[in-house]
Structure formats: C-alpha cells, structure tokens
Amino acid sequence: MKALSQKRRHPLAALALLVLGLMLTGGLYAVVTTVNEAKADTTTFTAHQVEEGEKLFVANCATCHGIGANGTDAGPSLAGVGAAAVDFQVGTGRMPMQMQGPQALGKPAQFTTEQTRELSAYVATLGDGPAVPSEEYLDGNGDAAVGGELFRVNCAMCHNAAAAGGALTRGKFAPALAGVSNSHIYEAMVTGPQNMPVFNDANITPEGKRDIITFLNTIEEQGNPGGAKLGSLGPVSEGLFIWTAVLGVIVGFTVWLTSRTS
C-alpha cells in the first residue's frame, strides 16, 4: 500500500491520467460516431461496382481530381468524402462541372443511375465518409411540424423560410429546394456541398433530417393557395409589387387628366 501511494504522488501521474482520459474520450467518440453513421448509412457495394466506378473515374474525373482522387490544383482530394457526396454531386449534374465559377451549378445528370452508383462505390473505398442514406429516412413520413421548426432554425437563413433559395456573397447562392429529390436533400445535409455547412447526426439526427424532408415535401405539395408567390421573398417583393402597381395607376391617371385638359 505504501508503494502504491508513493506511485500516485509521482510527478508524471497527473500526465498519465490526462493521457488516459483523452484516449478514453476519443475512443468513446469514435464508437458513438460510427454507430450514428451506421444508423443512417447502410449502403453496400459489390467489387464489380467498385471496379467499374474506378474506370469511370479515370476516364471522366481524374483530369481535375487526379489519379487515385488525390486532388490537383483544379479539384480537391476525394478521400473521405463518402459515397453520399458523389451521389449528390453527380446525381444533380453539378459534377462534372460545365465551367469554373463561384460554385458548381445543377444541370441534367451526365451519368446514369447505375454509373453514379458505381462512381460512389469507388470513392467510398478511398476513406470513411457519409454513405447514401437508407430509404427509411427518405419516405417523407416524418413530422412536418418538427421539420419546419428545424428548417427555420438551421436552413432558412440561406434557403429562405419557404425554401425558395437566396443570394450569398461573391456570386454564390443557396438554391431553391423545390423539385430536389429526398435522397439529395439528405445527402446535402450530411456532406455540406458548396457553401453549405455539414449537419452530421450530432447536429441533426437522422429522424430530424427525415422531418425536414417531410416539411419540404409538404410545402411543395401545398403550392401557392394565396396567389402569385413573387419569389417567396415575403413583404419586400410584395411591397415592391404594390408600390409599382400604385405608381403605374398614378402615372396613368395623370396622363389621362392631361389628355382631357388638352
């Protein structure tokens, strides 16, 4: 007992305890993160898909991203971005890019669904990253009310409260979300494309992402029962419309009066 007590008072004892605590904390964090990712990301690929994906990558993507996807001056490394990032970028037509600019623009997809899956399979082998989400979270059967609250807190400042999109800085913008597939909405949240932050499972749970998707589906289905949406920009565009209309009436009335007097 005396020897043990002396060791506890050793000058390096505090340092050893600190290192042990950090290792334990890091290990627990890694386990929790893995569990969360496994909960939402259940995609598996075959060896054939990986092989075909590598061929497609070398032929179409390596010019910018480099052989082995290590990155070049024209494009970043893809190690660790995960299958979800590839499925989003390629599936929405943002990649391959049509031209260099402030951000990649969406356009008709250049690859088929199967080819996109093969590219995703290859990139998934380059490092751990978000996988294509499970259908469980893409069915649009979440809680729209909860999703609306999450959207307004986390997304509306860029995408607009009605998901109509909005301008950012230096020629960049947050796109409108109407017509975007549920899988691409989920993938955007977990990968953070362009200027969008990453909303991992610690920020918004898979169930929360499902609720946001349900909210977006709901407002898209509702349409605009109040009339013309005017870009869904709220009182600014509505006030401008009213001001322009009233000013037009005043000008027209003035012209009519002057024509009568002459």
**Per residue of the chain (262 residues), what is the pLDDT tens digit?**
555 455 555 566 666 666 777 777 766 655 555 444 444 444 588 999 999 999 999 999 999 999 999 999 989 999 999 999 999 999 999 999 988 888 999 999 999 999 999 999 999 999 999 999 999 999 999 999 999 999 999 999 999 888 989 889 888 999 999 999 999 999 999 999 988 999 999 999 999 999 999 999 999 988 666 556 656 566 566 677 777 888 888 888 888 888 876 5
Is 10 annotated for ligand binding?
A: no
- 72 part of a folded domain: yes
Q: How far is CA 168 from CA 39, 157, 171, in A?
A: 33, 10, 7
Question: What is the C-alpha to C-alpha distance for residues 100 and 75, in angstroms, rounded to an integer?
Answer: 10
**Residue found by looking up tokens 């004892």 in the block:** 13
3-state SS record for the chain: CHHHHHHHCCCCHHHHHHHHHHHHHHHHHHHHHHHHHHHHECCCCCHHHHHHHHHHHHHHCHHHHCHHHCCECCECCCCCCHHHHHHHHHHCCCCCCCCCCCCCCCCCCCCCHHHHHHHHHHHHCCCCCCCCECHHHCCCCCCHHHHHHHHHHHCHHHHCCCCCCEECCCCCEECCCCCCCHHHHHHHHHHCCCCCCCCCCCCCCHHHHHHHHHHHHHHHHHCCCCCCCHHHCCHHHHHHHHHHHHHHHHHHHHHHHHHHHC
* Residue 184 marked ligand-binding: no
Residues 76, 55, single domain; the answer is yes
78 and 93 housed in the same domain: yes
- Measured between alpha carbons, how far is 108 from 91 in angstroms, rounded to an integer? 8
Instruction: Please tell me the predicted confidence (pLDDT) of residue 246.
Output: 85
10 exposure class (CB count in 10 Å sphere: 0-12, 13-18, 19+): exposed
- The verdict on 109 and 70 lying in the same domain is yes
How many structural domains comprise the chain?
Answer: 2
User: What are the CA-CA distances from residue 226 to residues 55, 223, 259 (Å)?
Assistant: 51, 9, 38
- What is the pTM for the complete model shown? 0.73
Are 138 and 203 within one domain?
A: yes
Is 24 inside any structural domain? Answer: no
pLDDT at 261: 62
| pLDDT at residue 77, rounded to an integer | 95
Same domain, 93 and 174: no
Q: How far apart are the first and last CA of the chain?
A: 116
Residue where one domain finishes, among candidates 132, 147, 170: 132
Please indicate, yes or no, whether residues 115 and 147 belong to a single structural domain of this protein: no
| Residue 16 located in a structural domain | no
Domain boundary among 80, 98, 132: 132
Taking the C-alpha atoms of residue 41 and residue 83, their distance in angstroms, rounded to an integer, is: 10
Q: Which of these, 164, 244, 127, 151, lies nearest to 204 by C-alpha position?
A: 151
Question: Is 112 found in the same domain as 88?
Answer: yes
Q: Domain of residue 195: give its range.
A: 134-229
Beta-sheet pairing, 166-167 with 173-174: antiparallel
Is 61 marked as a binding-site residue?
yes
Q: Does 214 reside within a domain?
A: yes
pLDDT for res 253: 82
- What's the CATH number where 201 sits? 1.10.760.10
pLDDT reported for residue 42 = 42
Distance (Å, rounded) from C-alpha 218 to C-alpha 229? 16
